[in-house]
Each structure stands twice: as C-alpha cells, then as structure tokens.
Structure 1
C-alpha cells in the first residue's frame, strides 16, 4: 500500500475531534499526508513525518482542499475521508469514507433544523448522495449505522464496522453520593439531541415535586435553546445548569461530577458519551433505540419522543413508583357521567 491521505476538513469539535486526535496518535506510517481543519490546529498532536495542510472553514478553503487532494493522490494511496463526505473530485487511489454523521443520511427531517443549519445540512446531504460513486468503501462504528448506510445508499456498498475510541478515558469512580449533579447530558444543541423533550420531562417532574439536578453542555451557538432552558428554570424552579461547550478533558472530568448520564438523543452514529459513561460505571438512562444498545447496557430506557416516558424512567431510577390509573366498571362510568 502507498501513503495514507487523511482528508478531514470540518472536523474540529465533538466526538469527531476526539476520534481524530486518537487516530493521529496511533499513526506510525513513514509517509503520510493530511487536510485538517484550521480550527483544530492547536488541539491536535501531529505525527512528525506527516505533511499537514490546514483548511480554512470557508467555501474557497474547502474547494482548495479538494483540488489539493486530487493533485497529490496516487493510484496506490488510501484516502480516508474522516469528515464523512466523499471527495467532490475523482481522485486516484482507494477512497474510504468514515461515516459518523447520521445527518448526512437524511435520518432526521430537514424541518427539524433551522436557518443556516438547515441550508448547510441540505447541501451536505446533496453532496453525499451525488458523489457517492467516488467512494470505494464506507467504515462505520456500529451495526445499526452499517444498516443505515446500506439502506441510504440504495446499491450494494462495502460497509465495514470498525469501532474505536480514546483508550485513555475516565477512570471508574465509586462514590456517587459525593457527586454534584444527579444527571449529566453531554451533547450539543442540534435537533436530534432532543433537549426540548428532556426539558419538558423535567417540567413534568417538577409538577410532581421532583427536582433532579441536571448539567448540560450547550455552546453559545444555541442561544435560543439556552433561553428556553433559562425561562423554564425560572418559571418551574428547575435545577438545570448549562456548563457551556467544554473541551474533551473537562467533559471527562464532568463524569466524576454526575450520578447518572441521561441521553435522550434520537439518532447517533456512535454515541461516545454512552461509552465514556459506561467506562465509569455510572448508570445510564437513555433512549430505547438500536444505537444505544450497540454500545452499552442502559440502566433504564424510555421513548425519546415522549416527555412522560423520560420522566417515568427518571422516577424508576430513583425508585419512585408511578401508580397506574384506576379502572372502574361501566356502572362507575355512568355514575360519574350522570353526576
């Protein structure tokens, strides 16, 4: 095999950045080449012999990166598209797309996105579908993602499952009582992360006199959602703290501050927080969906589309009974109706 050409524009935050950092640390090739996002420059530890090009997060920067990739690629090279999208231009060599973004596959409706995000996601989906013939193979991290890619593709693509993660994850901590938050939710504010149903569940719990503390990690780009949470805190006396966007090291520290992970997301390619929380031994309360059970054994599960179901799962974790409704007779029905 020739060189590894790592094409990773736009990988600069979240789980993608965590996995990219781990991949770069593991590289031992004598000769390598990379297109990397300029915004990740200070966050990456680069192999000494890798020829790195840092891509500006602009249309011109991305186009230049595409032309640069086509210029350097040789027939015996392996091109790893780590950002989950195919090359816009045909390139020599074997093209492998590491697909870790379910949004590219159209699994969430465009109506769930707003403004510029909606336009960006629509364009990304168009590129992934229009240029899929530039791809020789897809790599995913779970079997459910493998099924999703095959169903989306419509042909007979090669899709291999090769999961990996940061092996230097958080250590197990046994003293849950000393932790600051009852629940933590490590996620950005994209629609599929489902914060609004989580917030509605917390309001339902408050109406029952139950006030679990919750720590979130929403960055400044989700100001509308953050305002909703602030208003709900004030109106319903909730105990929700937003810690803002955290670097991964502080995310790992956060697992030491939470008694349980709650994870209401409706779609994930991997679900890195589920794996990290599992490593600590903390309880996980999560959506009853395939991607969850691909990577962990949750303590409690719920229907992510139902705030009632989410609230009930929290109560089950806390051993708070939920009494079923009383079923009367037809006589009882008529008695109440005619009273």
Structure 2
C-alpha cells in the first residue's frame, strides 16, 4: 500500500514517489462512547447538517440513534459497548483511514493507534482533564473515568489538534499535561434550539420561580442549592424551584432532598430526567434559571436560558462567564452566598451587621450580670 502525504487542500494527495492523485476526501466520525446526554445532542445536530456529497463514515455505539434524513451513501459501523468491540473498532479505524481523510473523534478520546488522516479530538468531559476527585461516583464509573484519563494522556500524541467549547476548558486541557504541542481550538459548538422568547416570557405559562436543569452528579451541587433554599425558608422566603433529577440514578440525593422538603416546607418539584425537547418547553414555565454547578465543560442550560430570555443566577466561575453574563452570581460552595443572590434578585433587602464600638461591646458583656 502506498503511503500518502497530506497537501494543503482537500482531495489532492501526493504519493511517496511524487505522483499526484485525486482521492475523495472522507469524514470519519468516531463516537463509540456517545449515546446519551449532551454528547448525543451535539452528535445528532452534527449528523443532521452533513452535506449530500460528503463521504461520511460513522463509527457509532449500537445505542446511538441516527437522525432521520441522513444523506445517501453514508457508511455506518456499529460497535457494541464492550471493551473487546471498542478495541476492534480502534483497529478497524487504523486500517481504513487514508491520508486524505479527516477524522473527528467525538468522544473525548484520541485514537488508540496513529492514523494516516488528519485527526481532531473534540473534548467535552471535564472530569478527564480537571484534577477533581472521582470519589463520589460508583466504582464502575470511577474505573471507567480512570481508564479514560490514562487513555487521553497516553494517546494524545495520536491527535493532530484538539477542539473544546470554552476558554476555561482549553485552560484545563492545557494544564492537564495531555497536550504535547498540538493546537487547541475553541469551537463553541452547541445544538441551539428554536426558542421564542415572547412565548417563554408569558406570565400565564409560569409555574416556577426558579429552574435548575441538571443531572445528579456531585459537581452539579444540588445539596448546597437545597441548603440555600432551607436558609431562605428560615427567613420566610419560599420561592418555588424545579429540578430535573433522575430519581433512579440519584436515589440517595433524591431521598435527602425529600427530607429537607418536608422539614422546611420547601416548594420543590422534581420533574425527572426529560428529553431535550421537553427541557426546552420547561424554560417557558420558569421565571429564572439558577445554576450552582461547580464546573462544566460548556454549561448548555446557561445558553439555552439566555436564548429563552430568562434571567440567570449562576456560580461566579470561569465557565459561566465564558458563555454569558449572569444577572446575579454567587460562591457555589456557600449556601449563604446562594441564598443572598436569590434575595438580591428578588429585591429582598438584607441589612448588614451593625458594627459595635468597644463601649457597646463592653456594655453588652456586663449586662449579662444584671
């Protein structure tokens, strides 16, 4: 087999002996570990806009649904979610990618083997590049993330470039030590829904004061958010809050929230894990989004809420200001800070502490004897 050297424009390659050949460019989308969540949403959006004349080869998880209306001639290779199947898919990729081809690794990980084509790795999972503990995850998830961290750091050399969605994600990737000397491009790619702000802002649609669109992982910070709601309840503030937790996936967290709800009389409602289309409809039922997550690779609900015209109260962290300017911000590690941001947004005054002079302090101390 002849080896090919990539030239400066698609479809033209030079062989080892100097001959010029016109070869069709193919796009390989390698996404064997994508089938749910934000990754699925982004991948479906990408597949929907692939042009007819593009030689598209997709290597997909068997659980990944392909959108309707895909162009003809698309080659799809299905991979079962097993270690052996995924290793075989890596070897198949190495055998089939040619020098003129473009490879998009969409599941955070570079190819296991060095490929002949141009390889872009799209990194979305911040757990793979941030120095954060995995102790809150089940053992199976900790093992998987640990292996993927090693894969990314050990095989990053097989990528020609990396793509991320935000500046803070680029900083985290560069700080991780995974990148050797490849460029890291910021590509704020999102599947933007068609939201009509006028429809969202109709008062008769509103059911909740606040909404938090998030799954139940520890970094999503539900506990401190609910603790803030408990503090507000103690002060006579009972704003309604809608959550989108999967009860079966977050059994312990859900039970803890229900205890606080009963103890403090909180106006909390969990609507469960919803399809993306229903989440978009949910924005129309809320007055504002609150977002206390401790870190994100992108924070898509921030963008969706802003597109829907909702005010946003969010953590004072880089990932937030990468994409929006919130109406109020807070320290996500402090329930007091979260509660104060809610009160500021609602226009509820909170008087500062009255500072005592030395005489007043001494008078109060001595009054205990009378």
Query: Which of the five TM-score ranges fits, normalised by the shorter chain?
Result: over 0.9
Residue matched to 2:130? 106
Any conservation in 2 of the 1:185–1:261 contact (CA below 8 Å)?
Answer: yes
State the match for 1:301 in structure 2. 329
Query: Which residue does the alignment assign to 1:35?
Result: 59
Aligned to 1:282: 310
Say whether 1:9 aligns with 2:36: no
1:195 to 219, 222, 229: 222
Alignment of 1:326-337 (within 5 A): 326-337=354-365
TM-score (norm 1): 0.94
Q: Which runs of 4+ in 1 moved over 6 A?
A: none
Following superposition, the deviation at residue 69 of structure 1 comes to 1.6
Question: CA separation of 1:44/1:61 partners in 2, compared to 1, >3 Å: closer, same or farther?
Answer: farther
Contact 1:170-1:255 within 8 A present in 2 as well: no
Partner of 2:109: 85
The answer to which structure, 1 or 2, has the higher relative contact order (CA under 8 A, 6+ apart) is 1
- Counterpart position of 1:139: 163
How many residues are matched? 339
Q: Which runs of 5 or more residues in structure 2 are unaligned? A: 1-9, 11-24
Q: Which has the larger radius of gyration?
A: 2
- For residue 58 of structure 1, the aligned residue among 76, 82, 92 is 82
Matches within 5 A, 1:155-166: 155-166=180-191
2:208 counterpart SS class: coil
Structure 1 CA distance for aligned equivalents of residues 69 and 244 of structure 2: 25
TM-superposed deviation, 1:65? 2.1
CA RMSD of aligned residues (A): 1.8
Q: Which moved more, 1:179-188 or 1:36-45?
A: 36-45
Can you list the C-alpha shifts for 1:282-303, whole angstroms capped at 9, x where unaligned? 1000011111111112111001
For residues 30 and 224 of structure 1, what CA distance do their matches in structure 2 show? 47
Which residue number in structure 1 is paired with residue 120 of structure 2?
Answer: 96
- Find the counterpart in structure 2 of residue 235 from structure 1: 263
Any stretches of 5+ residues in structure 1 without a counterpart?
A: none
Distance 1:163 1:131 in 2: 24
Deviations 1:214-267 (A, max 9, x none): 111112212111111112112221121111111111111111111111111111
Provide the C-alpha distance between the structure 1 equivalents of 2:128 and 2:140, rounded to a whole number of angstroms.
16
Aligned pair 1:215/2:239, yes or no? no
